[in-house]
């Protein structure tokens, strides 16, 4: 979910953070202590056990590709020549503060981020080398009449990336470095702006996630010797104005999308059944939480607490029947309902194809262009896109993924282009470390011929997109 639009003031502050420098690598023998692997054990991942349902789904942390899990190419001797990475940002504060949240503390002040506040002692910011450094610091004043009624305590704005979320992407970046730099030589050891193209939605948490992933991949641990090193690389994070972005379904630019989606909501039998099956359940949730929300909204207020081991919501107001507290099984039922809804809204319902065609068509074309450019020996080895659950979900829908459960924090999709010794090109798609399984088997995404993959992407191309985007 994209949270409230950032204010102009915030954008100015963030602008300073969109450029970061990374230290250079000297030799492969020194990589281990340069990359962010030493951070990996800082946070105890066991804390997220509560949200792990029997199938191993964990909303709080997506599985990461690792050297051990990363599959060999199906054809021996094939070379990886290009990859496209799509992520959901890491762990974040809830998107909105509900009545029961006012006494909670959400702390974002120690996040490993460069656009956010940092702790001088933990590491040097790349801005150490710049003349001016602006860090945005969120303060929620205890005495403010507004804050006491409308906001939790601590130092997190709604939807802000937490230190844990920053770390998740450091780890992902470090893991991808082991695979793409050390093992496969897809990317150079030293950051090269021509080989990695970074793109993000214009939202703080996605930009911070992108920074942290790149920091994990190319290390920024203050190892650079000289403050005036002339060749310190600068990372550029490319954004589009939200009005015209296409990393999520942009119903503002394409109003027909909302019309199609509300048609689905009105006509889907699955959604009607979901509603009927949960009349009492949603009534209870609304009573406990004090507000009525869509399933994803309930998820958004419950799961961040679970991911941080915070007590779940209770309303002890002497109600004579029913339950008064959220617990693990209630949370799992919410997640199950969310999954039913997203499967319908992003993959199965009549009309979804048109939603994806209008909303994801531009991104599908870009994925195709990236692949074809790489085949023609273009220089970009990694196209990195930092987005949201609402980036990953429609992409899963576009690929017809079998698993349409809500993408956990720090989810990743890798669209890889491989070349065989015979000179043939194949696409492989990994979702959270494993080959993406499709429901309708339009192609085996462990090893899909490039032409077949492109043909599929072309299905989402619309000739006159803007005229079809008008309401009907
Ligand atoms: C959760 O709460 C419900 C309703 O009070 C109860 O029936 C259920 O046993 C609880 N589950 C757990 C795991 O505590």
Per-residue confidence (pLDDT) for residue 59, from 0 to 100:
95
Q: Kindly report the number of other CB atoms within 10 A of residue 43's CB atom.
A: 16
Q: How far is CA 113 from CA 20, 42, 164, 170, 177, in A?
A: 10, 16, 11, 10, 19
Position 193 confidence tier, pLDDT thresholds 50, 70, 90: confident
Q: For residue 43, report the distance from its CA to the centre of ligand 1, in Å.
A: 29
Identify the residue with better confidence: 113 or 306. 306
Give CA–CA dist 291/275, Å, rounded.
17
Q: How many helices (H) and strands (E) does the chain have?
A: 14, 11
Smallest CA separation from ligand 1 atom 1, residue: 327
Q: Is the CB of 328 under 6 A from ligand 1?
A: yes
Give CA–CA dist 435/428, Å, rounded.
7
- How far from each other are the two terminal CA atoms of the chain, in whole angstroms? 26
What is the reported pTM? 0.86
Identify the weakest region by mean pLDDT among 21-25, 73-77, 259-263, 293-297.
Answer: 21-25
**Residue of 330, 333, 334 to test ligand 1 pocket, by largest number of atoms within 8 Å of CB:** 330
Q: For residue 329, report the distance from its CA to the centre of ligand 1, in Å.
A: 6
Per-residue confidence (pLDDT) for residue 142, from 0 to 100:
85
- Asked whether residue 423 carries a pLDDT value surpassing 60, the answer given is yes
Identify the weakest region by mean pLDDT among 90-104, 115-129, 203-217, 349-363.
Answer: 115-129
Identify the weakest region by mean pLDDT among 100-109, 126-135, 257-266, 434-443.
Answer: 126-135
Give CA–CA dist 429/432, Å, rounded.
10
Q: Is the CB of 329 under 6 A from ligand 1?
A: yes
CA neighbor of 79 nearest in space, from 419, 448, 403: 419
Q: Is the CB of 280 under 6 A from ligand 1?
A: no
For residue 328, give the ligand 1 atom closest to its CA: 13
Angle at alpha carbon of residue 461, lines to 446 and 407, rounded to 5° = 50
Q: Is the CB of 326 under 6 A from ligand 1?
A: no
Q: Is the CB of 121 under 6 A from ligand 1?
A: no
> Which H/E stretch holds residue 197?
strand 196-200
Whether residue 59 contacts residue 295, with contact meaning beta carbons closer than 8 Å, is answered with no
Give CA–CA dist 393/408, Å, rounded.
11
Smallest CA separation from ligand 1 atom 9, residue: 329
Q: For residue 90, report the distance from its CA to the centre of ligand 1, in Å.
A: 29
Beta bridge partners of 86: 385, 413
Q: Is the CB of 327 under 6 A from ligand 1?
A: yes
Mean of pLDDT values over 200-224: 81
Give CA–CA dist 157/92, Å, rounded.
9
For residue 324, give the ligand 1 atom closest to its CA: 5
Give CA–CA dist 298/56, Å, rounded.
21
CA neighbor of 220 nearest in space, from 177, 159, 162, 156: 177
Smallest CA separation from ligand 1 atom 7, residue: 323
- In the chain, the percentage of residues whose pLDDT exceeds 70 is 78
- In the chain, the percentage of residues whose pLDDT exceeds 90 is 70
- The contacts of residue 411 (CB under 8 Å, 6+ apart) are 62, 87, 88, 389, 392, 431, 432
Mean pLDDT of the chain: 84
Per-residue confidence (pLDDT) for residue 114, from 0 to 100:
52
Q: For residue 338, report the distance from its CA to the centre of ligand 1, in Å.
A: 19
- The contacts of residue 387 (CB under 8 Å, 6+ apart) are 86, 87, 88, 89, 200, 201, 206, 247, 248
Q: For residue 101, report the distance from its CA to the centre of ligand 1, in Å.
A: 22
The pairing of beta strand 196-200 with beta strand 234-239? parallel
Smallest CA separation from ligand 1 atom 11, residue: 329
Beta bridge partners of 200: 239, 386
For residue 330, give the ligand 1 atom closest to its CA: 1
**Residue of 329, 331, 333 to test ligand 1 pocket, by largest number of atoms within 8 Å of CB:** 329
Identify the weakest region by mean pLDDT among 42-46, 352-356, 458-462.
Answer: 42-46
- Asked whether residue 17 carries a pLDDT value surpassing 60, the answer given is no
Kindly list the domain boundaries of the chain, sorted by start residue. 262-342
Q: Is the CB of 330 under 6 A from ligand 1?
A: yes
Q: For residue 326, report the distance from its CA to the centre of ligand 1, in Å.
A: 8
Q: Is the CB of 281 under 6 A from ligand 1?
A: no
Position 321 confidence tier, pLDDT thresholds 50, 70, 90: low
Q: For residue 254, report the distance from its CA to the centre of ligand 1, in Å.
A: 43
Q: Is the CB of 348 under 6 A from ligand 1?
A: no
pLDDT in tens, 385-397: 999 999 999 999 9
3-state DSSP percent of the chain in helix, strand and coil, to 5: 40, 10, 45
Per-residue confidence (pLDDT) for residue 8, from 0 to 100:
33
- Asked whether residue 16 carries a pLDDT value surpassing 50, the answer given is no
């Amino acid at each position: 979910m994209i949270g409230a639009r950032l204010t102009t003031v915030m954008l100015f502050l963030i602008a300073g953070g969109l450029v970061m420098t990374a230290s250079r690598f000297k030799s492969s023998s020194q990589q281990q202590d340069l990359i962010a692997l030493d951070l990996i054990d800082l946070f105890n991942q066991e804390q997220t056990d509560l949200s792990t349902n029997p199938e191993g789904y964990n909303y709080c942390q997506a599985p990461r590709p690792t050297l051990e899990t990363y599959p060999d190419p199906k054809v021996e001797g094939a070379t990886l020549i290009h990859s496209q990475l799509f992520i959901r940002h890491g762990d974040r504060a809830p998107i909105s503060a509900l009545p029961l949240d006012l006494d909670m503390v959400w702390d974002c002040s120690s996040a490993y981020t460069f656009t956010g506040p940092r702790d001088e002692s933990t590491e040097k910011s790349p801005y150490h080398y710049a003349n001016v450094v602006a860090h945005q610091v969120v303060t929620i004043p205890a005495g403010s009449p507004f804050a006491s009624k409308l906001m939790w305590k601590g130092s997190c704005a709604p939807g802000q990336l937490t230190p844990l979320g920053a770390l998740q992407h450091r780890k992902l970046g470090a893991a991808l470095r082991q695979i793409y730099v050390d093992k496969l030589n897809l990317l150079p050891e030293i950051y090269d702006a021509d080989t990695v193209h970074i793109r993000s939605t214009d939202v703080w948490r996605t930009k911070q996630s992108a920074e942290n992933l790149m920091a994990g991949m190319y290390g920024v641990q203050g190892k650079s010797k000289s403050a005036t090193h002339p060749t310190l690389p600068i990372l550029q994070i490319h954004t589009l104005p939200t009005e015209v972005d296409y990393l999520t379904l942009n119903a503002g630019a394409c109003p027909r999308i909302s019309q199609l989606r509300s048609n689905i909501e009105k006509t889907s039998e699955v959604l009607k059944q979901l509603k009927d099956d949960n009349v009492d359940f949603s009534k209870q949730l609304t009573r406990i939480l004090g507000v009525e929300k869509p399933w994803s909204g309930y998820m958004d207020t419950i799961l961040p607490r679970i991911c941080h081991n915070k007590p779940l919501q209770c309303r002890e107001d002497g109600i004579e029947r029913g339950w008064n507290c959220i617990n693990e099984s209630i949370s799992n039922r919410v997640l199950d309902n969310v999954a039913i809804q997203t499967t319908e809204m992003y993959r199965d319902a009549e009309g979804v194809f048109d939603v994806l065609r209008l909303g994801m068509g531009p991104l599908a074309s870009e994925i195709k262009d990236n692949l074809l450019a790489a085949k023609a020996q273009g220089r970009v080895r990694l196209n990195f896109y930092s987005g949201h659950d609402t980036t990953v979900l429609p992409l899963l829908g576009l690929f017809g993924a079998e698993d349409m459960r809500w993408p956990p924090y720090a989810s990743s999709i890798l669209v890889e282009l491989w070349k065989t010794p015979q000179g043939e090109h194949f696409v492989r798609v990994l979702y959270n470390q494993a080959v993406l399984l499709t429901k309708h088997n339009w192609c085996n995404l462990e090893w899909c011929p490039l032409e077949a993959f492109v043909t599929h992407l072309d299905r989402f191309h619309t000739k006159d997109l803007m005229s079809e985007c008008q309401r009907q």
